[in-house]
Amino acid sequence: MVVLAASVINKTGKALVSRQFVDMSRIRIEGLLAAFPKLVGIGKQHTYVETENVRYVYQPMESLYLLLVTNKQSNILEDLETLRLLSKLVPDYCPALDEEGICKVAFELIFAFDEVISLGHKEAVTIAQVKQYLEMESHEERLHQLIMQSKINETKDVMKRKANEIDKSKIDKLRSDKGRMIPMPIRLDNGFNDITSALSGEFGSNSGFGSSLDSDTFSKPKARVSAPAPTKGFGMQLGKTQKAAQFIESLKAEGEVIVEDVQQVIAGPSKSTALVTDPIAVAIEERLVVALKKDGGLENLEVQGTMFLTVQKKEDAYIRVQIETGANKGFQFKTHPSIDKELFSQQNILGLKDPNRPFPTGTPSGVVKWRMQSRQESLVPININCWPSVSGGETFVNIEYESSKTFELQNVLILIPLPALREPPIVNQVDGDWRYDSRKSVLEWSIVLIDNTNRNGSMEFVVPPTDSSSFFPIDVKFSAVRTFCDIKVASVNQTQGGNSLKFGGRTQLVVESYQVA
Amino acid sequence: MEKSCSLLVHFDKGTPALANEIKEALEGNDTARKVDAMKKAVMLLLNGETLPQLFITIVRYVLPSEDHTVQKLLLLYLEIIDKTDSRGKILPEMILICQNLRNNLQHPNEYIRGVTLRFLSRLNEAELIEPLIHAILSNLEHRHAFVRRNAISAVMAIYKLPQGEHLLADAPDLIEKILGTEQDLSARRNAFLMLCNCAQERAVNYLLSHAESVSGWGDLLQMVVLELIRKVCRSNPGEKGKYMKIILSLLNSNSTAVMYECAGTLVSLSSAPTAIRAAANCYCQLLQSQSDNNVKLIVLDRLQELKASHREVMVEMIMDVLRALSSPNLDIRRKTLDIALDLITPRNIDEVVMTLKKEVVKTQSKELEKNGEYRQMLVQAIHSCALKFPEVASQVVHLLMDFLGDSNVASAIDVIIFVREIIETNPKLRESIMARLLDTFYQIQAPRVATCALWVVGEYSLSLPEVEAAISTIKQSLGELPFFRVAEDGEVIDSSFSKTTPQSTRGLASHSAPVVASSKRPAVLPDGTYATQSAAAEIAITAPSVSLASVGAAANLRAILLTGDFFLGAVVAATLTKLVLRFEEVQPSKIAVNKAVAEALLIMVSMLRLGQSSALPQPIDNDSVDRIILCIRILLGSDDVIKSVWLKGCRESFVKMIKDKQQQEIEEKKAKAQILHAQPDDLIDFYHLKSRKGMSQLELEDEVQNDLKRATGEFTKDTDSSRKLNRVLQLTGFSDPVYAEAYVTVHQYDIVLDVTVINRTNETLQNLCLELATMGDLKLVERPQNYTLAPEGRKQIRANIKVSSTETGVIFGNIVYETTSVLDRNVVVLNDIHIDIMDYISPASCADVVFRNMWAEFEWENKVAVNTTIQDVKEFLSHVVASTNMKCLTPSSALEGDSGFLAANLYAKSVFGEDALVNISVEKLPDGKLGGYIRIRSKTQGIALSLGDKITLKQKG
C-alpha cells in the first residue's frame, strides 16, 4: 500500500508536476508517466490501468490527468480516497486547469501533495487541514515574535541604562580631572564597544533569552540584531552629554516605531513611502481621463487633481502652506471647507480658518482640488495611431505613438486587444518591449520611459486575418512626475512664529482611463 | 543504482533563466522575487544544470530568510542538489546547511518544523543528520501533532539508514513509549510503522497486548497492523493462530479499505476454507456496497485469484458474485460472467441459468445503449453453460430463440450457433427447437443468421410434417415468384441479355454505384484468409429501384436476396435440395414429391434469373451460380451416393467439428491442469500432520516486496550471460585512437548504453566526450560529460536513452577529445547502434472478433511480398513467428493438412500497449517456391514500418 508518485500530466504524457514518494530513478518515473496516456482506454468507465508492474489510478481534469502511480498490491480503496482528496485540492490551487496554470502553481501543488501523502502512506487529513498546513499560520510563532520583541526592548533598556551610567561616570570624571580631556573619548569608545559587543554576544550566543523559551532560535536573533544596530551607532555618536543621552532615549523609542513602520511599508503599497517619512508631506496627484477617437481627434480630456497634506506629528500641525501657481488657464480650484478661502485666493496660502486648530495628523488629507476639461488636442500627452491592414492571409498592424514634449512618461503600457489566438502574434518590429497575455488575449507594448529621445515610436505585428475593429479599444497606462496644473508648494510655515518647516513633496500624474476607441 | 528523483516539474526551455539573474534576485530583499528565483533554481536543477555557484548565494541570502515559502523551497532545493562528490563523500560545504536545519527544527512555527522533519526523512546522508539528532528527538514531544508525526517518520527514516542504529540507538524505545501515550492517529500510525520496520518484536508485543482494542484503533493504524501481521507470519508461519482473532475483528471494520486489506491478509495467511470464505464474503460485500467501478473491477480481480486457488469455496459464492451484474458497466459484467462461468457445478447451474435468464429478459425490457453487447455476453455465457450441462439447454433455448431477429447481429449469430449446437447434442430437444425455429424464422433479418438457420432447417427436419412445414416456411419467406416483374418498366430481360447494348450500358452504369459502395476495405475472413468482401458479405444497399412484387413482412429472405446477397440464394437452394431429397424419402406419394421438386426448381431458377437480370445493381457471382446449378442437377436426377452425401455427409462433418471442438477444450483444460501440478521438489503439506487446521505455508508476502521493487524499477530480470554478450557492439575500429564498445540493455521504457572507452594512444586525452544523437522516438536523458583519459586508460560511460514508442530507432554519435599536442579537437565517428523493435513487442492473444475489428480500424498497413527460400508453408509460418516474436492466433487445427496454401493471423503487443497485427497468406507455387503476402497493420506508422523491415530482413530463412 504505497503510492509511488502523484503527478499531473498532459494527454501526451508530459509530466507537468510529479512528486515521488519512494526512491525511483528519473528515467523510470518519466517512462511510467509517458507510457500512461497510451494505456488509457477510450470510453472506459473505470479510472485505473494496470500494467505488469504498476497500477495507475487517475482522474481526467479537463485536458490533463491527475495520476497516482501505485504498486499493484496497493489498496485501491485507499488510493481512490487519496485521489479524490487531491482532485479537490488541485483546482483549489489552480483555477485554470491547463498546462500553463499547473506550471505556475507547480510548487504549491508539490507542497500540497506532500501534506496528503507522507512516504507513500496516506495521511488522515481533510482539505481544510491541508490548507491550514500550507498557510503555516502559527500562533506560537506570533507569540514568539512578541516575546522576542519585548526581549529586545528590554535589552535596549538595559543598554540605555548602561549608556546613562557611562555618561554619568564620564561627566564625573570630566569634573574630577579636567586635565585629561583628550584620551577620554577613546576610552569611552572602548567602553562602548565592550558593551555593544557584550550585547551582541548575548544575541549571538543565544544564552540571554533563548534559554527561557522552550523553542529558541538562531536565525531570529541574528535578524533582529540588524534592527538595533543603527541605534547603537547613534548611541556612540551622541552619547556625549546627559541631554544627548535623553535624546537617544526618545530617539530609540521613536526608532522602534520607525522600524515597525518600515515593516508595514514593505507590506503596504510602496506609494506612500515618500509621504510617511517626511514630517510634513505634500502630495500632488492628478488623474487623467482621456478618450481618443480611432481615426484621430480627441473626444474628451479631463484632469482631476488633488493636493494631499500629511502631517506626521501634532507639534507640526499648526502650519500654513505657501503655494506657487502658474497661469493655469481653464483650471477650477476648490479648497477644503475648513481652509481659509480668502487667504488662498489672495495670497495663495493654505491655512485653516481657525489658526489655532491643527491640521489632522497621521493621514493624508485633501486640501485643494482642481479640475480641467478640454478638447484641445495639443494637450494630449500621448497619441496612438493604429493601422491594421490585411495582406495575403495575414493582418499587419502598425501602431505608433507620438508623445507631446511637455511630459516625460514613465512605465508606458499600451494594451492592444487581439482576437483569441492560439499562438502569440509575430512582432516584426517594436520600440520597447512586448508581451502577449494569452489569457486576456491582449498584446502589451511597454516602454519604460518616453522622453525627448523617443518622442515617437512604432511597433508592427502580424496576426491571422482579423477585422480591424477588433484591435480597439486600445488602453494606455503611464505615469509622469509633472502635472497639467502648474502648482507647487513654496514653503511651509508655522502659524505662530512663522518658522519655516521642512517638508517633502511628491507630484504625480496617473492615468485613470486612457482609451483609443 | 541511479540517483533517485523525488520531484518533476515541467520546465519550459523556451524561457531560460540565467544563473546570474537568479543570483541577483536571491540576493535582493524582495520576498516575492526570492520565491520566484528559488523556484527557477529548483527547476534548472531538475533540468540537469548543476549551478554550483548558486549554493553559496543561497547559503548567504536565502538561509536567513524569514519567509515560510522561501524556507520550504529551500528544503526542496536541498532535497535535489547533489550532496556528495563523485566518490560518495559528503561535500564539505553541506555542513553549512546544518545550522539552518537546526534552526528550523527549533523554529516557533510548528509547520516549519514539520516540513523540515519531512525533508529529513528523505535525506540519506548520515553526516548531515548526525548534528541534528538532538533537535529531532526534542520534536517528538512537541505540542502539535503535525510536528510529532513528522518527527516520528524522520526518526524511522534515520533509523533505517545504514548507520541508523548508531545514530539513534534508543529510537525503538522512544517510539514505543510515544506509541503508548500518543493520541494523534497519523502520529500513532507512523510510530507503529516505525516499530514494524525497525523493531518487529516490540510491535508484535504491543499489538498482542492491545489485541482487544485493535478494532477501535482507526483505519490508518489498522492497515499497518495488517501489514505487520502479514510480515510476521511470513517469517514465522507458526504464529498465525495468534493473529487470526485480530484479523477477524478487523474484518468488521467501518473502513472499507481496512476490510479489503483484511480479506487480502486472510487469503495470504491461510487456505482454510473458513478463512477463504470470510475473505470471499468480504470481497462480495465490497462488490455490492461500493459504487465505484474501479473498486468493483479490482475486487473482481481478487475474486478471480481466489477462484484459481480455492475453487471449492468460491463455488458457494457464485450467486453473490453474480449480483455484480446489476452494475451497468460492461467490463464489470464481463468479468463477473467470466468468474461465474468457471464456478458452475451441477448443484448451482439451475440457479445461475435462472439469473442469466432474468438478466436476458431485463435487456429486453429496458432499452439501454449497451444492451445489445450485454445480451451477446449473456448468450455466450448461457451457451457455455449449456455446453457443460446440456440439461439446462431446454430451459433457455426457447427464450434465446426470441433473439434470432435481434437487431444486434452478433448476438443473433451467437444465438443461432448455440441453437445449432444444441440441436445436435440434445436430440431430445430437436423437435421443439425445430418447431420454434420455423415459428421465429420470419423474424431473422441478418443474412448470416439466416444462412445458419437455413442449414439447421435443412439438416434437422426429419419427419414428414417437419419437412413439409420447413419447405412451406422457406417458400413463404421467399414470397411470390418471380422475384421481379418484367412487364411494367417495359424492360426486356431474356437470355439474350448481353446482346442488347443499351441494356448492358445501363447495367454498367448501375454497376458503378455499388462498386463504390462495396469498395470496402479488405477484411480478414474467419478462416484467416485475406479477402475483399464479395457478394457474400452484407452490403447495405437499399431495395433496388426496379418495381418489385410487394415485399411482405414475412418475406425476410426475399428482402435479403433483393439486396443482392446471392450467397444466401445458394444456401436457400442447398437447403431446399436437402429438404426435397429428404421429402422423397419420407413421402410415399410420388405426386407430392414431384410437386415439391418442381417448386424447388422454380425457386432456384427464379433466383438465377434474378441474379442475371439487370434488376439488381450487381449480378450473381459465379460461385453461387455453380452452387444453384448443382442443386438443380441433383434435383433433376440423383443417385444414392449423392443423396447420402447431401443427407448424411454434411451432418457427419458437423458432428465431427463439434467433437473436435470439445476435444480441443478438453485438451486445453488438460494443458492448464498440467501447469497447476506441483513441482517435484515442492513441499508437501500433510493434512493430518498439521498442528493447526488449515494453516498452510505461503510465501505470498515476498511478492509484496518484489512488487514494490518491480514498480520502482529496481528489479531487473537475470538474463543469461550468453545473451548479454550478444549485445556487445563494437563502436570504433581497433586502430582508432579511441576504442569504444557498447553493451546495450533494453529496459521497458529506456535503453542503457554501457560504453567502454579505451585510450589506445600514449597521450592523455582531455575533454573526452561521448556525444550521442538519436533518430526515431528516442531521447537522450542526460547531457554528456567530459572525461580525461590517461594513456592506455579505460573508462566506463553510461548513457540513458528514453524510449517512448515502439519503433526501430538508431543511435549514432561520435567521440570528441583533445590531446595536449594538438589544439583542435579530434573526432572519432561511432558505428550506428540499431535498436531492435523485437525488444518491445511480446506475443499476446486476442479474440478473433477483436482482431478483425482492429484490422478494420487500423490506419497503417505494410504489405510485404513473400520472398523466401523456405519451401514449406508451415515451416515458413513458424519461421516468421519465431523471428517476429508474435503469437499465431489461427488455431493449429486450422493449419493442419497439406494443401499448399496457408493463411494465418499473428498478434503481438508492445510494452506501450500498442497492437501489432500480421496476416500471412502464402501458397506453394507450381515451381515449388512460396508466394503470397505478409500484411502488417498497426495504429501507428512506426510499428508497421519497423515490423515490415524486420520481416523483409528475416523472411529469407
Say whether pLDDT at B795 is over 50.
Answer: yes
SS3 label, residue A326: coil
Shortest CA gap B507–chain A (Å): 45
Report percent pLDDT > 70 for chain B: 84
For the residues B204-233, what does the mean pLDDT come to? Answer: 83
Q: What is the pLDDT of residue A264?
A: 38
CB contact at 8 A, B470 and B596? no
Among B7, B63, B857, most A C-beta atoms within 10 A, so best to mutate, is: B7
Best mutation target, A111, A219, A226, to test chain B (most B CBs within 10 A): A219
Say how far apart CA A166 and CA A144 lie, in whole Å. Answer: 32
Going by their DSSP bridges, the two strands A280-292 and A298-311 should be labelled as antiparallel
- The yes-or-no verdict on residue A468 having pLDDT over 80 is no
Radius of gyration for the alpha carbons in chain A, expressed in angstroms and rounded:
33
pLDDT tens, position by position, B133-145: 888 888 888 888 8
Chain B positions touching A141 (Cβ under 8 A) are: 107-109
CATH topology of domain A274-517: Immunoglobulin-like (2.60.40)
Question: B782 to chain A nearest CA, in Å?
Answer: 10
Does A88 score more than 80 pLDDT? yes
Confidence band for A332, pLDDT divided at 50, 70 and 90: confident
Taking alpha carbons only, the member of A320, A315, A352, A318 closest to residue A337 is: A352
Average pLDDT over every residue of B374-402: 80
Cβ–Cβ below 8 Å for A215 and B9: no
**Quick check: B10 and A103 CB within 8 A?**
yes
| pLDDT band with cut points at 50, 70 and 90 for residue A178 | low
Contact A31 B913 (CB under 8 A): no
Contact flag B108-A219 (C-beta cutoff 8 Å): no
Q: Which chain B residues have a beta carbon less than 8 Å from that of A72? A: 707, 711
Mean local confidence (pLDDT), A415-438: 82
Pairing of strands A280-292, A504-516: parallel
Q: Which residue of B has its CA nearest to A39?
A: B913
Q: A225-234, B382-391, B626-635: which range is least confident on average? A: A225-234
Residue range B648-657: average pLDDT? 85
Q: Cα(B696)–Cα(B684) distance, rounded to whole angstroms?
A: 10
Instruction: Judge whether A32 and A54 are in contact, CB under 8 Å.
Output: yes
DSSP tally for chain A: helices H, then strands E: 12, 24
Amino acid at B897: G
Assign B822 a pLDDT band (cuts: 50, 70, 90). low
> If you measure CA to CA, which chain A residue comes closest to B73?
A107
Q: Residue B220 and residue A216: Cβ atoms within 8 Å? A: no
Provide, as residue numbers in chain A, all residues whose Cβ is less than 8 Å from the Cβ of B109. 136, 138, 140-141
Has residue A415 got a pLDDT over 70?
Answer: yes
pLDDT, tens digit (0-9, with 9 covering 90-100), for B569-622: 888 888 888 888 888 888 788 888 888 888 888 888 888 888 887 777 778 888
How high is the pLDDT of residue A253? 55
Q: Which residue of B has its CA nearest to A31?
A: B749
Is residue B707 predicted with pLDDT exceeding 70?
no
Q: Determine whether the interchain pair B106/A216 forms a contact, defined as Cβ–Cβ distance below 8 Å.
A: yes
Q: What percent of chain B has pLDDT over 90?
A: 1
Beta-carbon contacts below 8 Å between A and B:
227
User: Within the 8-47 window of chain B, which residues sit less than 8 Å (CB to CB) from chain A?
Assistant: 8-10, 12, 39, 42
Least confident of A217-226, B139-148, B399-408, B707-716: A217-226
Whether residues B913 and A140 touch (CB distance < 8 A) is answered with no
Q: What is the mean pLDDT of chain B?
A: 78
Q: Residue ranges of the domains in chain A?
A: 3-134, 188-272, 274-517
Across the interface, of A31, A81, A123, the residue whose CB is closest to B750 is: A31
Question: B526 is written with which cell numbers?
Answer: 474467419
Q: Show residues of chain A in contact with B911, CB under 8 Å.
A: 35
| A160, pLDDT greater than 90 | yes
Task: Identify how many contiguous H helices and E strands chain B contains and give both numbers.
Answer: 40, 19
- Nearest beta carbon to residue A39 from set B121, B189, B913: B913
Mean pLDDT to the nearest integer, B625-647? 84
Q: Smallest Cβ distance to A80: which of B112, B295, B710?
A: B295
Instruction: Looking at the complex, report in whole angstroms how far the Cα of residue A316 sits from the nearest Cα belonging to chain B.
Output: 34
C-alpha angle A350-A354-A355 in degrees, rounded to nearest 5: 65
Q: Quickly list DSSP for B368-392.
A: -TTHHHHHHHHHHHHHHHHHH-GGG
Model confidence pLDDT, tens digit, residues B290-317: 888 888 888 888 888 888 888 888 888 8
Q: What is the pLDDT of residue A157?
A: 93
- Chain B: residue whose CA lies nearest to A32: B749
Say which of B5, B293, B713 has its CB closest to residue A46: B293
Residue A80 pLDDT > 80: yes
Q: Which residues contact B712 (CB under 8 A, 6 or more apart)?
A: A4, A22, A23, A24, A28
CA distances to A280, B393, B423 from B379, in Å: 94, 12, 16
B305 touches chain A (CB under 8 A): no
User: Do A274-517 and A3-134 have the same topology in CATH?
Assistant: no
Q: Do A35 and B102 lie within an 8 Å CB cutoff? A: no
What is the ipTM metric for this complex? 0.70
Question: Which of A26, A71, A111 has the CB atom closest to B711's CB atom?
Answer: A71
How long is chain A?
Answer: 517
When scoring B10, B140, B259, B293 by the number of chain A Cβ atoms within 10 A, the one with the most, hence best to mutate, is B10
Q: Which residues of B touch A130 (CB under 8 A)?
A: none
> Under an 8 A CB cutoff, do B294 and A217 touch?
no
Buried b or exposed e, range A254-271, using 16+ CB within 10 angstroms: ebbebbeeeeeeeeeeee
CA distance B293 to A351: 80
Residue A265: what pLDDT? 36
User: Looking at residue B523, what is its pLDDT?
Assistant: 57
Q: In what order do the strands lie in the sheet with B728-730?
A: B728-730, B738-746, B750-759, B794-803, B778-780
Q: Which amino acid is at A357?
A: R
A248 sits in which H/E element: helix A242-267
* The predicted structure's pLDDT at residue A35: 79
| pLDDT tens, position by position, A31-47 | 888 878 877 776 677 78
C-beta atoms surrounding B64 within 10 Å: 15
Residues of A in contact with B234 (CB under 8 A): none
Q: What is the pLDDT of residue B843?
A: 85
Q: Does B2 touch chain A (CB under 8 A)?
A: yes
- Closest-CA distance of chain A to residue B870, Å: 37
Q: Which residue, chain included where needed, has cell 501505485?
A: A70
Q: Is the pLDDT score of B814 beyond 50?
A: yes
pLDDT band at residue A328 under the 50/70/90 scheme? confident
Sorting pLDDT into bands at 50, 70 and 90, what band is B490? Answer: very low
What is the distance in angstroms between the Cα of A86 and the nearest Cα belonging to chain B?
Answer: 17
Q: What mean pLDDT comes out for the span B503-527?
A: 42
The pLDDT, as a whole number, for residue B554 is: 55
Give the closest-approach CA distance of A228 to chain B in angstroms: 18
Q: What is the pLDDT of residues A490-511, one digit of tens each?
A: 888 887 777 777 788 788 888 8
Is residue A210's pLDDT more than 80? Answer: no
> In this predicted structure, what is the pLDDT of residue B722?
58
Nearest by CB to residue A18, choosing from B8, B185, B800, is B8
What confidence tens digit (pLDDT) does each residue in A443-464 have? 888 888 888 888 888 888 888 8
Q: Do B193 and A80 touch (CB under 8 A)?
A: no
pLDDT at A135 over 90: no
The answer, as to whether pTM is greater than 0.90, is no
Q: What's the pLDDT score for residue B806?
A: 67
Name the 3-class secondary structure at A416: strand
Check residue A159 and give its pLDDT.
92
Give contacts of A269 with chain B, Cβ < 8 Å. Answer: none
Q: What is the structure's pLDDT at B392?
A: 79
- Count CB neighbours of B857 within 10 A: 11
Q: What average pLDDT does this structure show over A69-83?
A: 86
Average pLDDT over residues A66-93: 87
Asked whether residue B161 carries a pLDDT value surpassing 70, the answer given is yes
CATH domain A3-134 topology: Beta-Lactamase (3.30.450)
Across A69-81, average pLDDT: 85
Q: What pLDDT, on the 0 to 100 scale, is given for residue A43?
A: 65
> Which position has the higher pLDDT, B39 or B748?
B39
- Contact assignment for A218 to B72 by CB distance below 8 Å: no
Q: Which long-range contacts (CB under 8 A, 24 or more apart) does A354-357 make?
A: A355/A318, A355/A495, A356/A318, A356/A495
Kindly list the residues from chain B whose CB atom is less than 8 angstroms away from the CB atom of residue A41.
Answer: none
User: Which of A27-41, B2-16, B416-430, B680-694 comes out lowest in average pLDDT?
Assistant: B680-694
Mean pLDDT on B758-784: 81
pLDDT reading at B235 higher than 80? no
Q: Across the interface, which of B6, B64, B704 has its CB nearest the CB of A223?
A: B64
Give me the pLDDT at residue A145, please: 86
In which residue are the cell numbers 491550514 written? A132
Cell numbers given for B188: 500513532
pLDDT at B496 over 50: no
Candidate from A31, A102, A141 with C-beta closest to B109? A141
Q: Work out the average pLDDT over B24-37.
A: 84
- Residue B715 above 70 pLDDT? no
Q: Which long-range contacts (CB under 8 A, 24 or more apart) does B258-263 make?
A: B258/B219, B258/B222, B258/B223, B258/B226, B259/B285, B259/B286, B260/A75, B260/A76, B260/A77, B260/B286, B260/B299, B261/A1, B261/A75, B261/B222, B261/B223, B261/B226, B262/B226, B263/B302
In this prediction, residue A343 carries a pLDDT of: 81
Q: Do A45 and B110 touch (CB under 8 A)?
A: no
Side chain identity at residue B522, one-letter code: P
In this predicted structure, the answer to whether residue A158 has a pLDDT above a threshold of 90 is: yes
Residues facing A118 on adjacent strands: A121
Cβ contacts of B714 on chain A, cutoff 8 Å: 24
Chain B residues inside the 8 Å CB shell of A76: 260, 294-295, 298
Q: How far is CA A242 from the centre of its chain?
A: 43
Please say whether the beta carbons of A102 and B733 come within 8 A: no
Asked if A35 lies within 8 A of B3 by C-beta distance, the reply is no
C-alpha closest to that of B778 among B755, B749, B816: B749
Nearest by CB: A1 against B12, B108, B223: B223
Considering chain A, what percentage of its residues have pLDDT values greater than 70? 79
pLDDT in tens, A42-62: 667 778 888 777 888 898 888
A399-412 CB burial, b ≥16 within 10 A, e <16 = bebebeeebebbeb
